Amino acid sequence: MQFELNKEYIEEVQACLSENLDAALLHEINQLHPADIAEIIDELEDEEAITLFSTLDEEIATTVLIELEEDVRQLMMGSLNASEIANRLIPNMDSDDAVDIVAELSDKKKDDVISAITDVEQASVIVDLLSYPEDSAGGLMAKELIKVRKDWTPLKCVKEMRKQAEDIENVYTIYVVDERDKLQGTLSLKQLLLAKGSEKVEDIYYEDVLAVKAYERSEEIASIMEKYDLVVLPVVDELDRLIGRITIDDVVDVIKEEADKDYQMASGISTKVDSADSVRMLTKARLPWLLVGLLGGILGALVINQYEDTLGLYPEMALFIPLIAAMGGNVGVQSSAIIVQGLANNSLGFDSISKKLGKEFMVAIINGLVCSVLILVYTMIYKDSLDLAATVSVALILVIIFAGLFGTLVPLTLDKYNIDPALATGPFITTMNDIVGLFIYFGIGHLMYSWF
């Protein structure tokens, strides 16, 4: 049954922690899913959260720690000494989760934790994984896996697999390697069970296997696993030796983090934050793009000031300044959002930039004509001014065309130079389109009014 957290339950837990540590309630909490326990801890005050976490069984505490929000997890880690982390938490974790936890510690505490790990082999694995960039296949992978040699018999495979499986929570795939540990393929459990005693793995395994190098970017890993519907992906080194595996739960985290980052960047937030962060962190993340918007507003005001004489002669043009700016910004964000989405999921195809711009040009022409005709009719009816109607209509179609092309070109250009194209969906596009849109509007107005 799904657990639903509410305010009353949180208050009950808080009362329990502040008064008498009700054993029945604490036992009930220990029976919940780790994700639900993490949700409870996230809602508690710091001291309450630390107290509740300390009452959890070791295995449950390990899983809960991984589920916690980053700032709360760091709080829990800060409440434990190096020995407690090394002996209470690390032994119950897969290597990839252990590395994620250790990587968040300060350099000194990180060294202390590694030194305190009694299992030398486990400490060596963690040190090895820490050497890989966080956003690479090596940074995502776990060392725990099931592998068999291609020259083994089915009976020997079963014996060796039993030993290896002791340290693995979920067995997704059996990998086949040669005597040098080079990945050869995968072995079906069904084929292994049905194999004759005289057969060897090389007679029954599947050679077709998809693997990635250790330094492959995490975004590419997510794309591969999504494209081929994989739940696990082997990782090999430069010599094609099997060194680890990436499971779907780690990739889902990557996809979520990328989506959050792109959404925040498109909203004008420069670094990853959430509502629970400090005022300083929130301000630091949001202020830079607000300053960009402020600069854009100043430049827009300078454009209007430059055409002050035109506005003095034709003050009715001021009525449509917000319309021109809003339409340019909206069209630009629409165009850039489609391109950024296509770049993210590799669905843009292999068309040249000129073809993509040509397609966007046709879309902008159609949208611009429809909007221009509507604004022309509106202006003629309610303002009864041919010169104003013509000015606004022509300016609007040109602004829409420019914004569509600009919104397409910018993310493609950023991607070409390995800059996150999500930058093109936020205030940058809106601000630039506002400024250029005003230039176009007043430039067309100056020409149009001089003709009528």
Report the CATH number that the domain containing residue 301 is assigned in CATH.
1.10.357.20
Please report, for the domain that includes residue 125, its CATH number. 1.25.60.10
Structure tokens at 260: 């959050």
Q: Flag whether the pTM goes above 0.85.
A: no
DSSP string, 122-145: HHHHHHHHHTS-TTBHHHH-BS--
- Residue 94 and residue 28 in one domain: yes
Q: Are residues 53 and 172 in the same domain?
A: no
**288 lies in some domain:** yes
Is the domain of 59 the same as that of 87?
A: yes
* Residue-wise pLDDT tens digits, 208-229: 899 999 999 988 898 899 888 8
Same domain, 290 and 408: yes
Helices (H), 244-278: 248-266
- The reply to whether 141 falls in a domain is no
pLDDT tens by residue, 258-281: 777 766 666 656 566 565 566 777
Of the candidates 235, 192, 191, the one whose C-alpha atom is nearest the C-alpha of residue 212 is 235
Question: For residues 179 and 48, what is the distance between their CA atoms, to the nearest angstrom?
Answer: 53
Give the mean model confidence (pLDDT) for residues 353-379. 89
Instruction: Judge whether 42 lies within some domain.
Output: yes
Q: Is residue 269 part of a domain?
A: no
Query: CA-to-CA distance for 398 and 173, rounded, in angstroms?
Result: 57
Does residue 389 lie within any of the structural domains?
yes
What is the DSSP-derived secondary structure letter of residue 345? T
Gap between the Cα atoms of 274 and 30, Å rounded? 28
Domain boundary among 135, 169, 189: 135
Asked if residue 140 belongs to a domain, the reply is no
**Same-domain pairing of 346 and 418:** yes
333 & 206 share domain:
no
Domain of residue 189 covers 146-248
Q: Does residue 260 lie in a domain region?
A: no
306 and 439 in a single domain? The answer is yes
Question: How many domains, the chain?
Answer: 3
Highest-pLDDT range among 64-78, 140-154, 159-173, 184-198: 140-154
Answer yes or no: do 121 and 167 share one domain.
no
Cα distance between residue 368 and residue 395, in whole Å: 10
Question: Cα separation of 212 and 34, whole Å?
Answer: 31
The two structure tokens encoding residue 28? 């009930």
Instruction: Give the tens place of pLDDT for each residue, 64-120.
Output: 998 888 888 888 988 889 998 998 888 888 888 889 889 888 889 999 999 999 888
> Are 283 and 193 within one domain?
no
- Unique residue bearing structure tokens 């829990």: 76
- In this structure, the answer to whether residues 74 and 208 fall within a common structural domain is no
**Helical spans, DSSP H, in 104-228:** 107-116, 120-130, 137-140, 154-165, 189-194, 218-227
